[in-house]
Amino acid sequence: MGIQAKGERILLMFDVSASVLHKAENGGVPLSKIKDETLQLLAQLPINARFDIVQFVRNYKPFQKELIPATPANRETAKKWVESEWNESGQMPASGSGVVAPTPMA
């Protein structure tokens, strides 16, 4: 998307709620475009970087439990995860595979 940044620890967090989905589409940037940009970014990560990806609505779905090295194998696994798990529905049921429902604070 034209933003240049440098870093060795990269956490990509995506709000995939319905409100963001609609605003992004109305702004001419559908989540499918953001997905494509994410895949391009993953391909360009330097090997000395560590990264993770998290999608969230109220619940969240992390790619990994912690930042992982940007090795070719990890980048390929992340690419497959993005391609299979990318959420454009605007919802994330708590019962979904890999979804974590936050514990309410008492």
Q: Which of the 8 DSSP states describes residue 15?
A: E
Question: Which tokens hold the place of 45?
Answer: 């990560």
Query: How much is the pTM?
Result: 0.80
Q: ∠ CA(95), CA(11), CA(37), 5° rounding?
A: 90
* Residue of 36, 38, 17 lying closest to 87 (CA atoms): 17
Q: What is the pLDDT of residues 4-22, one digit of tens each?
A: 667 789 999 988 888 888 8
Contact (CB, 8 A) for 39 and 82: yes
**78 to each of 15, 20, 102, how far by Cα in Å?**
18, 23, 23
Q: What is the pLDDT of residues 37-89, one digit of tens each?
A: 999 999 989 989 999 999 888 788 899 999 999 999 999 999 999 998 887 77
Q: Which domains does the chain have, with CATH numbers?
A: 9-85 (3.40.50.410)
